[in-house]
């Protein structure tokens, strides 16, 4: 069942097409990674999903209901954090959850508040004022506010901002737990592609407001399409001439070095060709990560 269904969604600010004819769906229980460079339209799309801004055109359905005509009912089942949460410095963590809980039609009891604080690692600081919190703790509290009413759909925009490596790991594990053990549907946007790779079951990449890639990570990161980085003492121009024959179709348009996208079974032939051509190799690195795939598809779309 599709929890989120978006069809031909567009948002224009004057002549700027921030989001352009975007269509996608998110199924129940998925962790859906929503990726794009700064200015790609991610935050604008998320704000439209939450009815914070109105689309120029297109249609949004959540839980099979139109956002336009069922806004209040839908948002009762949605929890969200967008970038940095707005918090009150003189309230405690517990008081924040009590306050935001009262804004919901659901009854939020003390046990639910304590359980939510435990989930995000703030139970020991429940009665401390937010003005004493670090940036990472404030981010955790923002996530707690998104979870306190036990929503079915959780939308997180950069949920690990300000967190140290342990905090990032904790939030990643929390997201996976919420989906796997509690059946939550989670749309998460993050610039930490390695984290998305570890937690998402499905990803979508947008560029200049348009979708350029979508699918399961296992399918998009095809092992027969390895990213190969050649390190050499030769200059770039010489290496490009050598590769312009048999390997020209594999060269990637990147400015930070010589990269190819090629089947893994052709890598030995590449190595032999470079050695036979007298290239002074330092190394041939092979990768197949979400970060490399992201750079590849966004570079090709420029």
> Which positions ≥6 away from 297 have C-beta within 8 Å?
205, 207, 212, 213
Domain extents in the chain: 2-219, 226-300
The CA distance from 278 to 242, in Å, is: 10
- Residue 302 has a pLDDT of 66
DSSP track, 209-267: TEEEEEEEHHHHS-TTSEEEEEEESS-HHHHHHHHTTTTGGGB---SSSEEEEE-GGGH
The CA distance from 183 to 28, in Å, is: 8
Beta bridge partners of 213: 205
Token pair in block for residue 24 = 């996608």
**CB atoms closer than 10 angstroms to residue 124:** 10
- Residue 251 has a pLDDT of 85
- Residue 129 has a pLDDT of 97
The CA distance from 44 to 54, in Å, is: 10
**CB atoms closer than 10 angstroms to residue 10:** 18
Encode the chain (302 residues) as per-residue pLDDT tens digits: 899 999 999 999 999 999 999 999 999 999 999 999 888 999 999 999 999 999 999 999 999 999 999 999 999 999 998 877 789 999 999 999 999 888 887 778 999 999 999 999 999 999 999 999 988 899 899 999 999 999 999 999 988 887 888 888 888 999 999 999 999 999 999 888 989 999 999 999 999 999 999 999 888 877 677 888 888 888 777 788 888 878 888 888 877 888 888 888 888 988 888 888 888 888 888 877 788 788 878 876 76
- Residue 141 has a pLDDT of 93
CA distances from 173 to 1, 65, 160, 168 (A): 24, 30, 12, 9
Q: Are strands 78-82 and 153-157 parallel, antiparallel or unpaired?
A: parallel
The CA distance from 269 to 262, in Å, is: 11
- Residue 241 has a pLDDT of 80
With H, G, I as helix, E, B as strand and everything else as coil, classify residue 110: helix
The CA distance from 108 to 223, in Å, is: 47
CATH topology of domain 2-219: Rossmann fold (3.40.50)
Q: Find out whether 243 and 260 touch, Cβ atoms under 8 Å.
A: yes
Helices (H), 53-200: 67-75, 93-102, 110-119, 135-147, 165-180, 193-199
- pTM comes to 0.82
The CA distance from 186 to 200, in Å, is: 9
Q: Find out whether 198 and 172 touch, Cβ atoms under 8 Å.
A: yes
> Which positions ≥6 away from 230 have C-beta within 8 Å?
239, 257, 258, 259, 260, 274, 281, 284
Q: In terms of C-beta density within 10 A (0-12 exposed, 13-18 middle, 19 or more buried), how is residue 197 classed?
A: middle
């Amino acid at each position: 069942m599709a929890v989120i269904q978006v069809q031909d969604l567009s948002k224009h600010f004057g002549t700027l097409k921030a989001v352009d004819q975007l269509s996608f769906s998110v199924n129940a229980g998925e962790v859906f990674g929503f990726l794009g460079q700064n200015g790609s339209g991610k935050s604008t799309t998320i704000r439209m999903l939450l009815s914070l801004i109105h689309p120029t055109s297109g249609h949004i359905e959540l839980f099979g209901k139109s956002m336009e005509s069922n806004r209040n009912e839908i948002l009762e089942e949605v929890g969200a954090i967008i970038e940095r949460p707005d918090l009150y410095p003189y309230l405690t963590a517990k008081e924040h959850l009590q306050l935001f809980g009262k804004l919901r039609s659901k009854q939020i009891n003390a046990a639910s508040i304590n359980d939510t604080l435990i989930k995000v690692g703030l139970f020991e600081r429940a009665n401390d004022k937010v003005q004493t919190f670090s940036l990472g703790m404030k981010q955790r509290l923002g996530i707690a506010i998104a979870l306190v009413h036990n929503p079915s759909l959780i939308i997180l925009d950069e949920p690990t901002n300000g967190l140290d490596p342990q905090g990032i790991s904790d939030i990643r594990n929390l997201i996976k737990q919420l989906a796997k053990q509690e059946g939550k549907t989670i749309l998460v946007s993050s610039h930490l592609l390695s984290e998305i790779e570890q937690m998402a079951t499905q990803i979508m990449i947008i560029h200049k407001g348009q979708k350029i890639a979508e699918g399961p990570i296992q399918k998009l990161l095809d092992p027969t399409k390895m990213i190969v980085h050649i390190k050499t003492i030769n200059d770039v121009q010489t290496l490009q001439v050598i590769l312009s024959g048999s390997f020209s179709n594999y060269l990637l348009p990147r400015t930070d070095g010589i990269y190819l996208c090629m089947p893994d079974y052709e890598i030995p032939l590449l190595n032999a060709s470079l050695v036979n051509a007298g290239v002074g190799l330092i190394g041939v690195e092979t990768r197949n990560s979400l970060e490399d795939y992201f750079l590849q598809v966004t570079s090709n779309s420029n």
